[in-house]
Amino acid sequence: MKRTAFSLAAMAVLAAAAGGAQAQSNVSFYGLLDVGIDNISNASPSKGSMSRVTSGGMNTSRWGFRGSEDLGGGLKAVFNLEGGILMDTGASDGALFKRQAYVGLEGSYGRLVLGRSFTTVYDFVLPFDPLAYAPNYSWATSGNATGPSKYGMTTAFDNMVKYSGSAGDFKYGASYGFGEQASGAQDSAKFSGGVTYKAGPVSLLATYEKVNGNTIANGGRDKTTAYHLGAMYNEGAWKVQAVARDYKLDPAATGKPDVRGTIYWGGVSYLTAPAVTLTGAIYYQDVKNVAANTDADPIMYVARVRYALSKRTDLYVVGAYAKAKNNQLVGLSRDDPGFGNTQRGLMAGMQHRF
């Protein structure tokens, strides 16, 4: 009887402890589902148009788990597992947790995580893109897929240590991706850093990224760098954004020219009614260090109407037109090539967040 009573008491204590631990933890399952019907011109070498169901008109579809545990003293453990979804087929967009897979700590000092995650540059530039990295209608992460280089930033690092913090009106952060090469610590190593400053309705942005290649026979290695400078005005119903990114690839091979390009973009958003947002944006890529007759210098114009059915569900219509100089190829998408010196697209879709 005494042993039974002791066992019941012990079980009660353990249950209470487990309940207390559970009360201090928070785990959520979330997702964003975005799909629509679009039509694009110059969709094949025959220059024909194509209609299709497309995943991601405003944002890339994804699902994941994230959570935190209160460790006391203002410190908590955090984690995130996130993967992409192709809504038109139901397939996984890359590896299971290609988008994010990390664990870390967060407290008054800031946030420090280990694993795979979006870079600091990706995080800091996102609020300054009028189209919020829309897969088919934004060149903010990289240019169109038809040129010799996309002149872009690295969106995520494997093998990452990432820190973010804030002080007053400043937010800052840095990411380091280990190259994990036996040939040396700098081979394939990656760095990303950024800072933003907010004063009333005005926000300013500055970022820097460096990505190393591997050492080759002559002792050199490829190196890419990318800088961003940006500004945003957000007051009442209006939001205005402008950013410039300068990209440079220093090749390891002797005598090979640098690959250089600068991308500029700007946009305006206006909340015309409680549920309707109008957005217009322009993206322009100034290609450098190429022959004059192959200088594409593509430009893309985008317009979007977004109607909020609720806090979680939106309908949208977006149209875009891109063109390039010197009969060079251009495409609206970061990932899909175009087959002409112009391309236009029109998409109507729906997005739901849970």
pLDDT of 172: 98
The CA-atom distances, in angstroms, between 189 and each of 42, 157, 212, 231 are: 38, 10, 5, 29
What domains lie within the chain, and their CATH numbers? 27-353 (2.40.160.10)
SS3 91: strand
Closest CA to 54 of 87, 91, 92: 87
* pLDDT computed for residue 215 by the predictor: 86
Residue 192's contacts (CB-CB under 8 Å, 6 or more residues apart) are: 119, 120, 121, 122, 154, 157, 174, 175, 176, 177, 207, 208, 209
pLDDT at 95: 95
**Rounded mean pLDDT for each run of 10 residues along the chain, 354 residues in total:** 42 42 79 98 93 96 98 97 97 96 97 98 98 96 86 96 98 97 92 98 98 86 96 98 96 82 97 96 93 90 98 98 95 90 97 98
- pLDDT of 272 reads 95
CB 331 within 8 A of CB 142: no
pLDDT at 317: 98
